[in-house]
């Protein structure tokens, strides 16, 4: 694409974003500044992204971790993380999402003080770049807010310098009743500044002050940050809490048109620097709204499949896949050039907003009570009517699946592996939280120390202690890592598990959850069948319609499937990946 053509495209984005904003700079000048900032000058070669091209395949797995999830005495945590991955993940994980590794003041990294430096307690940019040499680096762009202890906010308070006009303010007398809130804290933070009392918009907490993207200097600052991260090896950008980016007083200030257009602009700039860089939007909102962030394959390359965690956990603790099956049938196939980002555990809890409209209030209530019985905590939000509603369940996935609504049982590990097998076989790119890979249990001590519910799922492992457990065949951690690693190795070898391969939901009753995958070249089929309850189940082979002229094998056990038997007997939480080809 010629520089002039791209410049016109960027200018068009800007005209849409700032149509209702009086700027003191022309669209032409701003477009040039943005392109120069990200490294696209008139004399440089401009990359040519392919429309609807998949920059991923079945081999892509993303591990989600904090920079200090594993620590070793007298060693920088990022060095320890790299050592852990080389020792235990080398043949399974090829991408790593290191949660915010910048200096921060709260929210375990998501209240960023300085976007341009690495937290000294974790390591340095050299350590980040060393990881990026061997793994695809996914980094957070915490774009909605920053720390109230940042230099930018200090300058806002002083009324001078960079950042002095970066933050969104409102009047307490404004009608803010429609604003969508993920927290119960007051929306506005009263702040004394050199220019008098101001009320700063805080979507999440009063230590997380929201940016005002009506000021194009904020956009320029973030394009500069993106350029830095690309230079340091970032291959995947996670746009944190991006749904709240644009605010308009009198509206719900979520998912606004301008927010989508800012994402389209960021996409345009990044893909003309390096088309292989992927953008993932983190939008923890109801499913229908979440899907809009694909745009027309011109916004996010991938979106978080936020409805999957609550639906899958509900399925496995209730022993009924009705809701999961209905949701799966309703999900549109991701068109080429886009993909779902599947996960069932993360540094946050099990979000319940994405289950709204999919699970009934009674089902959500039953799920919450079961998780509380398993030692989980509940975080709350204020509804539009001022009532408190459960927003998030805080619990490790391993402990969330320790039993059913009847209580704990002996199937914890099998149920946990079943959950990951279902996720790994689905359409989309899988993300696995490090504490799921390790089978980590609830960390009550950390909750007590921090006073934060989310700390329950953010354990910090001592490397030597963890190494001993992972090397012991009798520990839950060894069993979990071994079995999940086996599933990953199988998945990575099968073309039918390409993130964009065909998927079709099977109708096998409420206790058997199944779907069919077919490779893009239509040569390989895999029937993914899971017993999601605590009793043995029998399935008729005629119900999954295996073609009699093919030879079928369970990829997990390597057992041949005899069509003459007419049925299969499945143990509680057993998973079958039945395929006509085996590429492992």
Indicate the annotated binding residues for substrate.
Answer: 107, 145, 238-240, 347-348, 454
Of the candidates 445, 443, 435, the one whose C-alpha atom is nearest the C-alpha of residue 477 is: 435
Complete DSSP assignment for 110-148: TSBS-TTS--TTT--HHHHHHHHHHSEEEEEEE-SEEET
- Give the span between the Cα atoms of 357 and 359, in whole angstroms: 6
Burial of 325 (0-12, 13-18, 19+ CB in 10 A): buried
Segments in 45-186 forming alpha helices (H): 77-88, 125-134, 151-158
How far is the C-alpha of 230 from the C-alpha of 373, rounded, in Å?
A: 44
Crossing angle for the helix pair 361-373 and 308-318, to the nearest 10 degrees: 70
Catalytic residue list contains 240 = yes
Q: What is the DSSP letter of 497?
A: G
Beta bridge partners of 179: none
Contact criterion met (CB below 8 Å) for 318 and 364: no
Q: In Å, what is the CA distance from 7 to each residue of 175, 178, 214, 263?
A: 39, 37, 21, 17
- 72, 240, 399, 443: the catalytic one is 240
CB 19 within 8 A of CB 11: no
Q: Residue written as tokens 């946990």?
A: 416
Exposed (0-12), middle (13-18) or buried (19+): which is 242, by Cβ within 10 Å?
A: buried
Question: Catalytic residue numbers?
Answer: 240
């Amino acid at each position: 694409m010629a520089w002039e053509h791209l410049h016109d495209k960027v200018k068009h984005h800007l005209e849409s974003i700032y149509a209702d904003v009086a700027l003191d700079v022309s669209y032409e000048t701003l477009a040039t500044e943005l392109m120069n900032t990200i490294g696209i000058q008139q004399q440089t070669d401009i990359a040519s992204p392919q429309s609807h091209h998949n920059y991923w395949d079945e081999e892509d797995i993303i591990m989600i971790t904090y920079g200090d999830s594993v620590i070793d005495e007298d060693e920088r945590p990022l060095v320890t993380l790299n050592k852990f991955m080389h020792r235990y993940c080398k043949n399974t994980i090829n991408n790593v999402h290191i949660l915010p590794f910048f200096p921060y003041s709260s929210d375990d990294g998501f209240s960023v003080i300085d976007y341009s430096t690495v937290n000294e307690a974790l390591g340095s940019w050299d350590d980040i770049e060393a990881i990026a040499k061997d793994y695809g680096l996914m980094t957070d762009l915490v774009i909605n807010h920053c720390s109230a202890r940042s230099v930018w906010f200090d300058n806002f308070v002083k009324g001078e310098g960079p950042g002095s006009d970066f933050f969104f303010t409102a009047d307490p007398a404004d009608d803010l009743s429609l604003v969508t809130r993920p927290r119960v804290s007051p929306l506005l933070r009263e702040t004394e500044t050199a220019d008098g009392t101001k009320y700063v918009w805080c979507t999440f907490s009063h230590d997380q002050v929201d940016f005002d993207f009506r000021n194009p200097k904020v956009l320029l600052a973030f394009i500069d940050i993106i350029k830095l991260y690309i230079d340091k090896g970032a291959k995947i950008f996670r746009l944190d809490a991006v749904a709240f980016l644009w605010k308009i007083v009198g509206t719900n200030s979520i998912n606004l048109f301008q927010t989508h257009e800012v994402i389209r602009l960021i996409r345009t700039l990044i893909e003309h620097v390096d088309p292989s860089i992927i953008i993932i939007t983190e939008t923890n909102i109801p499913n229908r709204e979440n899907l809009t962030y694909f745009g027309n394959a011109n916004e996010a390359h991938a979106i978080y499949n936020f409805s999957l965690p609550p639906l899958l956990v509900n399925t496995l603790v209730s022993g009924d896949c009705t809701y999961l099956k209905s949701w799966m049938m309703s999900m549109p196939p991701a068109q080429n050039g886009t993909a779902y980002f599947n996960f069932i555990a993360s540094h946050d809890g099990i979000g319940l907003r994405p289950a709204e409209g999919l699970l009934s209030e009674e089902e959500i209530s039953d799920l919450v009570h079961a998780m509380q019985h398993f030692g989980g905590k509940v975080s709350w939000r204020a509804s539009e009517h001022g009532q408190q509603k459960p927003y998030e369940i805080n619990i490790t996935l391993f402990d969330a699946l320790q039993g059913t609504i009847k209580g704990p049982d002996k199937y914890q590990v099998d149920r946990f592996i079943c959950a990951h097998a279902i996720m790994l076989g689905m359409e989309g790119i899988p993300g696995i939280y490090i504490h799921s890979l390790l089978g980590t249990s609830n960390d009550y001590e950390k909750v007590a120390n921090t006073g934060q519910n989310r700390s329950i799922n953010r354990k910090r492992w001592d490397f030597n202690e963890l190494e001993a457990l992972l090397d012991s065949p009798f520990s839950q951690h060894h069993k979990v890592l071994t079995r999940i690693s086996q599933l990953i190795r199988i998945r990575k070898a099968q073309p039918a598990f390409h993130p964009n391969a065909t998927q079709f939901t099977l109708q096998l009753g409420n206790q058997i959850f199944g779907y069919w995958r077919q490779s893009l070249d239509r040569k390989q089929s895999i029937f993914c069948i899971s017993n999601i309850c605590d009793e043995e189940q029998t399935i008729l082979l005629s119900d999954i319609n295996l073609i009699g002229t093919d030879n079928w094998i369970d990829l997990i056990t390597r057992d041949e499937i005899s069509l003459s038997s007419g049925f299969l007997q499945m143990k509680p939480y057993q998973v079958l990946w039945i395929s006509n080809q085996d590429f492992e």
